[in-house]
Structure 1
Amino acid sequence: MKNWILLLLFTFAVAQITAQDQPKRTIVTTDGEIDDVDTFIRYLMYSNEFDTEGLVYSSSMWHWKGDGKGTPFTSEMEMTRRIYGENVTDLRWPGTNWIQELLAEYAKIHPKLMLHDERYPSAEALLQLVKVGNIDFEGEMATRTNGSEWIAQKLLDDDPREIFLQAWGGTNTIARALKSIEEDYSKKRNWKEIKAKVSKKAIIYTIMDQDATYKKYIDPNWPEIRVFYNANQFWCFAYPWKRVVPKSQQPYLEGSFMGPNIINDHESLFEKYYSYGDGQKQEGDPNHFEGDISKIVNTERGSFSKYDFISEGDSPAFLHLVNVGLVNYEDPSRGGWSGRFEQSAENPYRYEDGEAASDLNPETGEMDTSYPQTRWIKAMQLDFAARADWAVKSFEEANHAPVINVTEGTSIIAAAGEEVTLNPTFTDPDGHGVWFNIWPYAEAGDGAATVETKEGVTTVQLPKTAKTGEEYHVIVEGSDAGFPSLTRYQRVIITIK
């Protein structure tokens, strides 16, 4: 009997580990703005890290197709009404072909990418996932579309893994999918079970409210769906980045870095990447001025040079799925490449950025609502540059990320006032050396421990005032000696006994 119990416990533990190691399922909904195009190019270079299960055109407060009949529409969103007025028949619509066009370029580099990771999906497989959702007007969710029905089908399927729903535009196509599920099943006996299953399965990562469908339908009708709401931190990776990003991080967004390391000489997919002064113009968007070199000096966002970064305001959404060792997927309050979010006081299933999720910016000495995102920009940009190299280089010619470990493990129990020793180790697929930077992430836990490294030995001094159950987070950051230098992490969480 004892052996049987041990076997059962072992099997359960293995199942848990296997579930944690399984790739995350995700569906993208996008309104096609130029920053969505740039986000999608980066997304494709990270598509080996998760299971893409849908690429769905949707609308937003900034972009809608119109119904083709000249029907006037007035936005529910105050900012859109102020900028574009009332009774608009269509707005800056980029069409429903740009994803397919980028996938055609991705197909050309796919053989090279497979040399670096065989998990890269083929362009043909991704093409089968492209669907048109609710696009006629901002917030339109009255009609069932191929895109909304696809999302509903995935939420109802028998795969127990979560579906990470990325809203790069409005949430209307996601809302329509949920509405269809409600219409089809709410009168059935097992509705309670179906609703619980969908609520547990869905996670929505939304960049602002780009229509009113979350507030008007999803939140009141599906209150137990987890939502990661990014309304502040994404700005540092969007159009006004020069006003938000610390000076030390800005060179990695400037043309002197973007041009040679990402945009130029990295095959045609990267030539499609929109940057300042590149001469490109998105069809359907009369507001896209950034490619005109004569118009990028003294803008309201600042002055820019050729190949400067424009915006990838939606990249934080999918970066939440990339496992770099920060273990922030299950608990977004820990912070990572997607930002850091605190649980809402009104809704325990909603996580928000803003003042409560601020980090201390060491350049200003003040709490900063954007620093949970900007602190990672250098590492993120170098990582993107390395993946751009994968499109043109063999495995031996390119750089790949190290694997970081901590001898003592990443979950430690210690007493208040205790000194804990950490011994990080690494392996590097290219044989490069790795240098470590080990630091306390005070905002992610219950305060700061004191971290000191002398002669290769790192000690963590816990506060004597620490209370039972408190957590102290220490980030073990390892950067390799390759080019571009790549960084991976281990987060050590020390719990006070």
Structure 2
Amino acid sequence: MKQRAIQLSLIFGFLFSIGIAKAQEQLEKPRTIVTTDGEIDDVDTFIRFLLYTNEFETEGLIYSSSMWHWKGDGKGTKFTSEMEMTRNIYGENLTDLRWPGTQWIEELLTEYAKVYPNLILHDENYPTPDKLLSLVRIGNIDFEGEMAKRTEGSKLIAEKLLDDDEREIFLQAWGGTNTIARALKSIEEDYSKSRDWEAIKEKVSKKAIIYTIMDQDATYKKYIGPNWPNIRVFYNANQFWCFAYPWKRVVPKSQQPYLEGSFMGPNIINDHGPLLKKYYSYGDGQKQAGDPNHFEGDILKIVNTERGSFSKYDFISEGDSPAFLHLVDVGLDNYEDPSRGGWSGRFVLSDENPYRYEDGDKAADLNPETGEMDKSYPQTRWIRAMQLDFAARADWCIASFEDANHAPSILVEGGMSISARPGDTLTLTLSAKDPDNHPVALNAWCYDEAGSGKAEVTSKENIATVQIPETAKTGDQFHIIVEGTDTGFPALTRYQRVVLTAE
């Protein structure tokens, strides 16, 4: 076997390159619009979202409806859900359903304004409260799947999809896709008879990415899919459950302590400022207006539930957080290709639709705790790192820069894409830079399912040795994840992904 040492000097102009990279990062931040039905898990997702708004460019915060939450038209009109699950649970001929109102975003932005002066001590790129407030719109909320009329929310989405900014618009559907569908329908109505229609449709199709948590109404299947088939869709129907209500049945035992009240209470919810105090957790005494199903705050009702038994401050649900976590660059390089896997989960390209990425059995990862393929493990494998990162952001709400922890940067000499021959042994030189000058423990491992299979990796201090299988075929790829965890508190982890391609 031939020994290859992949080594390049960091003298390469390290400080200069970091400066260039930072400037480019600010120019190329992903653009995103959130649509939300306001369920309690959306509220908790939104609180975490606010603490990560320095990582992307928020361009809209839109109230929408779903199969679980809609306002009604105020005229007593009765409505029966198109979704079988909703009909089975709530029945037919309803005039409204568990509607949380259209003030909760503004109320949370009021709390964000109180911690904003402290957040910008840690990153000046946090958007101002006034900026975020200016982005709030009411979308299509009267009924589940309602997309008959243009709303301020749908008009904002259409405007952004048609503007001259060539960057993509990452459309997050935390509830139904109906307001997004209405925006697309408006574009079709306005331009389908014009001579430029094909060019406009192509532009919008290339620009839009929809990350949807399940189908929470029928508008994707009935309108978006058939009429806009070239819009990319990241469809999360399985992995989000581990970060949602049934987490105790899904999350590996080793990860569950980071969702329990003994961690959540002291490290995130309590004594971390007014925004985090609004975070819904088990037994916290809070009750969402408009939702009679919200029992979780009652300490007397959280033992022996159908989801399990819970303690005070236990995590309830953030089923929509995977959507925005796809935008947070932690070094896993998965934004363009969700099959690589990251904090938002891992998705594979649909056999039927080349523009649709899905989770499910084909996107399962091997769970080392069970020794079985697990369709939730692409998400649960990151929970510890994500929760510690959330705790650090909670600290940013109250602590000075010197008294809080900040994530390291991980470096690999030789580049992120390397060609190799079957049987080759490659040596990667690893290093890290920590803004708080904490030591960083480095490790490397092969993400087998993200590539073509397993490559043997041994890691010691700042050297990782990778053995390409003798059986590798031309074009096979092996994804080596280099991770570094600092020694601050909460301990923070960042990554680099090195893709080795057999030639």
TM class, shorter-chain normalised? over 0.9
Structure 1 residue 457: Cα displacement: 2.9
Cα deviations by residue, 1:193-223 (Å, 9 ceiling, x for unpaired): 0000000000000000000000000000000
Within the alignment, does 1:68 sit opposite 2:74 as a pair? yes
Question: Once superposed, which parts of structure 1, at least 4 consecutive aligned residues long, lie more than 2 Å away?
Answer: 17-21, 453-457
The aligned counterpart of 1:483 is 489
Report the counterpart of residue 210 of structure 1 in structure 2. 216
Deviation at 1:410, TM superposition (A): 1.2
Q: Does 1:52 align with 2:58?
A: yes
CA apart distance, 1:19: 8.0
Q: CA deviation at 1:455?
A: 6.2
Correspondences of 1:302-317 after superposition (within 5 Å): 302-317=308-323
CA distance in 1, matches of 2:134, 2:173: 20
Report how far residue 141 of structure 1 moved. Answer: 0.3
Distance 2:458 2:114 in 1: 48
Unaligned 5+ segments in structure 2 are: 1-19
1:373 aligned partner: 379
Partners in 2 of 1:413 and 1:132 — Cα distance?
50
**Per-residue CA shift, 1:379-435, capped at 9, x if unaligned?**
000000000000000000000000000012211111011001011111000000000
Paired position in structure 1 for 2:109 = 103
Contact 2:442–2:462 under 8 Å retained in 1: no
Matching residue of 1:122: 128
**Which residue, out of 189, 192, 195, partners 1:186?**
192
Q: Does 1:339 align with 2:345?
A: yes
Bigger mean CA offset, 316-325 vs 455-464? 455-464
Equivalent residue in structure 2 for 1:398, among 378, 400, 404: 404
TM norm structure 2 = 0.95
Structure-2 change in CA distance of 1:465 and 1:384 (3 Å): same
Q: Which residue of 1 aligns with 2:171?
A: 165
2:4 matched to which residue of 1?
Answer: none
Map of 1:143 onto structure 2: 149
The answer on whether the counterparts of 2:284 and 2:299 sit within 8 Å (CA) in structure 1 is yes
Aligned mate of 1:446, from 446, 452, 460: 452
The residue correspondences of 1:280-295 to structure 2 (distance < 5 A) are 280-295=286-301
**Deviation of 1:373 (Å):** 0.1
Equivalent position of 1:224 in the other structure: 230
SS at 1:155 equivalent = helix
Distance 1:456 1:358 in 2: 30
In structure 2, the residue matched to 1:93 is 99
**1:201 pairs with 2:207:** yes
| 1-structure distance, mates of 2:55, 2:462 | 32
- Confirm whether residue 80 of structure 1 aligns to residue 86 of structure 2: yes
Deviations 1:300-354 (A, max 9, x none): 0000000000000000000000000000000000000000000000000000000
Matched, 1:241 2:261: no
Q: CA deviation at 1:436?
A: 1.4
Superposition deviation, residue 240 in structure 1: 0.1
Output the CA distance in 2 between the equivalents of 1:453 and 1:178: 49
Indicate if the aligned counterparts of 2:302 and 2:311 stay in contact, CA closer than 8 A. yes
Q: Given residue 469 of structure 2, which amino acid in structure 1 is its aligned partner?
A: P
Q: What is the SS of the residue equivalent to 1:59?
A: coil
CA distance in 1, matches of 2:279, 2:502: 48
**What's the counterpart of residue 259 of structure 1?**
265
SS in 2 for 1:100: helix
Task: Tell me by how many angstroms 1:53 deviates.
Answer: 0.1
Q: Alpha carbon RMSD of aligned pairs, Å? A: 1.2
Q: Name the residue aligned to 1:473.
A: 479
Number of the residue aligned with 1:434: 440
Larger RCO, structure (CA 8 Å, separation 6 or more)? 2
Aligned to 1:9: none
Counterpart of 2:11? Answer: none
Shift of the alpha carbon at 1:160? 0.3
- 1:231-257 per-residue CA deviation (whole Å, 9 max, x = no partner) reads 000000000000000000000000000
Shift of 1:366: 0.2
In 1, distance between residues paired with 2:324 and 2:201? Answer: 25
1:386 partner letter: A
Alignment partner, residue 276 of structure 2: 270
Query: Could you say which residue in structure 2 is the equivalent of 1:7?
Result: none
> 1:260 Cα deviation (Å)?
0.1
Q: Post-superposition shift, 1:437?
A: 2.0
- Tell me how far apart the structure 1 counterparts of residues 229 and 481 of structure 2 sit (CA, whole Å): 33
Question: Within 2, Cα distance between the matches of 1:48 and 1:457?
Answer: 33
Mapped partners of 2:356, 2:415: distance in 1 = 30
Aligned length: 483
For the 8 Å contact 2:441–2:461, the answer to whether it is kept is: no
